[in-house]
Amino acid sequence: MALNRSNKPQPGNKINFDPPHFNKFKLNNGLEVYFLPKTELPIVRINLVLNCGSRYDPVNLKGLANLVSMCIDEGAGEYNALQLSDEIDLIGAHFSVYSDDDSIHITLQVLAEHFDKGFELFKKVLLSPHFNEKDFEREKRKVLTRLIQFRDEPEYLANTAFEFLLFGKGDPYASPIPGFDTTVNSISNNDLKNYYSSYFGAENAAIVVVGSINENELRSSLNIFSDEWNNNVKKKDFQNDLNLSDKRLFIVDKKDSVQTEIRIGHLTSKRNEEDYYNKLMFNLVLGGQFTSRINLNLREKHGYTYGASSRFNYYKDAGIFNVSTSVGIENTANALDEIFSELNEIKNGVNEEELQFAKSSIIRKFPANFESYGQVASNFVGKIIYGLLDDYFDTYIEKIKSVELQDVNEAANKNILTGSLLTVLVGDYEKISEQLKTDKYGDIVKLDYQQLPEIS
Amino acid sequence: MKKTPNMELLDIEYEKYKLANGLEVILHKNNNSSLSAVNLWYKVGSANDSKGKTGIAHLFEHMMFQGSQNVPKEKHFRYIQEAGGTLNGSTSFDRTNYYEKLPSNFLEMALWLEADRMGYFLPALDQEKLNNQKDVVKNERLERYDNQPYGLAWELLITNLYSKDHPYNWPTIGFLNDITGYTLEDVSGFFKKFYTPNNSSLVVAGDIDLDKTKDLIEKYFAPIKPGAEVEELSCKTNPLKENILVTHKDKIQLERLYLSWHSDKLYGEDDAALDILSDILSGSKNSRLHKLLVFDKEYAQDVTTFQFSGKYAGQYIVIITAKPGITLDKLKAEVMHEIEKLISDGIKHREMEKAKNSIKSSFIFSLQNLDLLADQLNTYNFHLNEPNSFNYDLNRYNIVDEIKIINAAEKYLTKPNLEVRIVPEK
């Protein structure tokens, strides 16, 4: 008998998944430690997260945290920059330092057999960086050259212009992490040293360790570490005041572009337990995955783009909702109209089938978030940054399951603010503006990216 | 000193067999997680495209997500995501792959989906879907290449390095004019020729029961009819007779230099030595070109070198972005001088040790994701006819010595080269 292929096969027995349980403890110096033994491969992963990042950059020194993260491993302890890099390569370790808006991250991934050596090097970078003038000047010139290159990159222009205009000049989250030419030019090596002594303290940090290492061995390494890292940095206060604005549209002129980069969105409440899950659910339907309404509309129905998506992005003390895509320039207005129409439509809510799909995909995907050592560590770093509760991963699935259609639909109606949409387009001004001859987009402003820091 | 990690880790157990219709099957049981991975390779890539129809292998990959007889458009994505899985496909010169990673209790559904499009794709094909995906691919090309700074460099490299009749002479995405020209007949002809069970290999890995998985594969794939055997491409790589210089104006601020030489093919005898060479030249802060040009002299913003190799040919590539005010002539002279110096003065033991240790740990790191592991089993099977080649592959690097690298540098990098300069429009 021929096989009947018309029915989708049913799943086998349900899989039980127990999320990883970290051991949490505090060292004498105040550093919070999260440790998870994970032994299927001989790998140890460390993520240290410092509560600082570019949001603390003084307004005239934007790009400071980024330069700190670039210079901190340019020589430390008895090693100069090149020797230090060699020592890391000799044990085949992956080591990185980078800054984002809320944090500076230092990460190490190393084979278990090289953990001791790797951790020694990690500590040298953290505790005894040189901050030499010569290395500083070189890295600063590198950033200034990179800023020139960014002017050619449409995604970068779109992302940074969008966030700058959304937060508004003066807000700590407004500026791009690498800063602007003028602000980077003003940064001195002393600023780096001051930043380091103001923020690099154990009580202002947390460390996540995942891997194939015995807990007693780890604890004795960490106790030594605790004695070595003793300074009195306290967590810094942070305040910002964010306001929604009227609907408006900016075109960053990039002559002869063949595509238009599009960003549309508005501010949203910062991450909190009450509405996080509801927002997550309706966004999955709207633009959070391949078969979302926005992607199917713009890509699979109209062929305007290679892909389109929407998201709620959260900083520690701010939230952003945005839609992003890149379309053939002749379809700029068409694509905008379709996006606006999807945003209007989602305010009417989603249906039960859409919600079930969203729930199912998130719940069943949950175990795959803990596959690699780096994934597990960064999931926990996320939990630390957002100050989520200790049982966050244990209760995650239950929380998703208990989301109700009515609450999701209220959240969609409340959290999509079509009257306050900021639109940023990067592309050929002449070709775009001739398509936008109506008032439905709000005020239209032409922008030269280099003038961005002056726009208030 | 602790002992080195057990290389048994890299000894990946598997079972390999063929269905009567020619489909090759590789099973790997691995209970590190409750996930399973399906990874299906069709032995067709852009190398099988033809002049005037470039990009069709890649476009076809898009069409495979447009539904089949029992799976409506978009449902392939929908079903896998609903099951908590991730999925995609990709096209290279040599092959096209499709993959799903999902909770293991949904394995049967993934096999059903892959089998349906392997066996029953044509009834669901129509002009509207083709037109739509031509538009999508056109936009993919615009977004990823035409509208990116330096985005056309790759195309300039391969079209000028390989002769017109070489299968690596055109970009996988295809030329814009070709993309707009495909017809339904092109697409269905391509399917019939290349998307046969006897031209593909299926890896299923992860939390699986071997017997049950075999039964499921038999159930869904065995009824699919085999096709005609696909002929191997015949291919000869002609050496460059003299240096070639191509200058291209782009919407960029900083000039960039690309140098390329014909080199060895993937898993060829010099392939691993050239990988180590690239680590020595540009793999770290203290690598030769990086130290000289980015760190000491600050002539360059960045420098990368790599051996890019496939089934039919390989090329060695150097890419350097000039700092403002530095000429590409100056950069080129520095690169050529460093290569000469390496050949005449040799390589330090420490440089070798750094490269080899980095490679060793990257092999262990690469075992972390089940989908990547499954794809690597297919890679080894395709090129070496042995899925469990992790230790063999690592050993390729371990046995390379200083002399071998110097010889490879001399053999390839002193020959005529292709130079592509991307410069600002004035």
Q: Give the CATH number, domain containing residue A446.
A: 3.30.830.10
What number of C-beta contacts closer than 8 Å exist between A and B? 221
What is the tally of structural domains in chain A?
2
Burial B184-222 (b: 16+ CB within 10 A, else e): eeebeebbeebbbbbbbbbbbbbbbeeeebbebbebbbe
Mapping DSSP onto H, E and C, the string for A73-118 reads CCCECCECHHHHHHHHHHCCCEEEEEECCCEEEEEEEEEHHHHHHH
Would you call A303 and B364 a contact, using CB atoms and an 8 Å cutoff?
Answer: no
* Residue among A89, A301, A302 minimizing CB distance to B284: A89
Tell me: pLDDT of B2 over 80.
Answer: no
In terms of CA atoms, which chain A residue is nearest residue B367? A41
Residues A231 and A201: beta-carbon distance below 8 Å: yes
Query: Do residues A98 and A220 share a domain?
Result: yes
Strands A103-111 and A443-447: unpaired
Query: Do residues A32 and A146 share a domain?
Result: yes
Sorted by where each starts, the structural domains of chain B and their CATH numbers stand as 14-221 (3.30.830.10), 244-424 (3.30.830.10)
Alpha-carbon distance of A112 to B4, in angstroms, equals: 9
**Where in the sequence is the domain holding A125, given as residue range(s)?**
23-228
Average pLDDT of span B359-366: 96
pLDDT value for B3 = 40
Alpha-carbon distance of B299 to A452, in angstroms, equals: 29
CA A226 to chain centre: 29
| Residuewise pLDDT in 10s, chain A (456 residues) | 689 999 999 999 988 899 999 999 999 999 999 999 999 999 999 999 999 999 999 999 999 999 999 999 999 999 999 999 999 999 999 999 999 999 999 999 999 999 999 999 999 999 999 999 999 999 999 999 999 999 999 999 999 999 999 999 889 999 999 999 999 999 999 999 999 999 999 999 999 999 999 999 999 999 999 999 987 787 888 888 888 888 999 999 999 999 999 999 999 999 987 899 999 999 999 999 999 999 999 999 999 999 999 999 999 999 999 999 999 999 999 999 999 999 999 999 999 999 999 999 999 999 999 999 999 999 999 999 999 988 999 999 999 999 999 999 999 999 999 999 999 999 999 999 999 988 788 789 999 999 998 886
Would you call B5 and A9 a contact, using CB atoms and an 8 Å cutoff?
Answer: no
Say if A12 falls within a structural domain. Answer: no
Residues of A in contact with B218 (CB under 8 A): none
Host H or E run for residue B38:
strand B35-42
- Minimal C-alpha gap between A393 and chain B (Å): 17
- Minimal C-alpha gap between A41 and chain B (Å): 8
In terms of CA atoms, which chain A residue is nearest residue B358? A92
Cα-Cα-Cα-Cα dihedral sign, residues A333, A337, A342, A347: positive
Say if A239 falls within a structural domain. Answer: no
Query: Do residues A137 and A45 share a domain?
Result: yes
Average pLDDT of span B247-265: 97
Query: Do residues A252 and A222 share a domain?
Result: no
* Residue among B6, B77, B353 minimizing CB distance to A290: B77
Tell me: pLDDT of B4 over 80.
Answer: no
Say if A240 falls within a structural domain. Answer: no
Residues A266 and A442: beta-carbon distance below 8 Å: no
Say if A3 falls within a structural domain. Answer: no
Is 0.80 topped by the overall pTM? yes
Query: Do residues A156 and A301 share a domain?
Result: no
Query: Do residues A365 and A287 share a domain?
Result: yes
pLDDT value for A272 = 83
Query: Do residues A203 and A313 share a domain?
Result: no
- Minimal C-alpha gap between B397 and chain A (Å): 14
Query: Do residues A197 and A267 share a domain?
Result: no
pLDDT value for B1 = 34
- Minimal C-alpha gap between B24 and chain A (Å): 21
What percent of chain B lies above the pLDDT cut of 70?
99
Would you call B81 and A42 a contact, using CB atoms and an 8 Å cutoff?
Answer: no
- Minimal C-alpha gap between B200 and chain A (Å): 21
Would you call A300 and B132 a contact, using CB atoms and an 8 Å cutoff?
Answer: yes
Helix (H, G, I), strand (E, B) or coil at A134: helix
Query: Do residues A174 and A283 share a domain?
Result: no
* Residue among A43, A153, A258 minimizing CB distance to B364: A43
Say if A284 falls within a structural domain. Answer: yes
In terms of CA atoms, which chain B residue is nearest residue A85? B285
B333-337 long-range contacts (CB < 8 A, ≥24 apart) are B334/B289, B334/B292, B334/B293, B334/B297, B334/B299, B335/B259, B335/B289
Query: Do residues A91 and A173 share a domain?
Result: yes
Edge-to-edge strand ranges of the sheet holding B200-206:
B15-18, B24-29, B200-206, B35-42, B96-103, B86-91
pLDDT value for A455 = 83
Q: Name the DSSP letter for residue A330.
A: G
Tell me: pLDDT of B5 over 60.
Answer: no
Say if A234 falls within a structural domain. Answer: no
Categorize the per-residue pLDDT at B6 as very low, low, confident or very high, splitting at 50, 70 and 90: low
Residues of A in contact with B358 (CB under 8 A): 89, 92
Query: Do residues A278 and A214 share a domain?
Result: no
Distances (CA, A) of A125 to A95, A408, B358: 10, 46, 20
pLDDT value for A236 = 82
Say if A133 falls within a structural domain. Answer: yes
Query: Do residues A207 and A260 share a domain?
Result: no
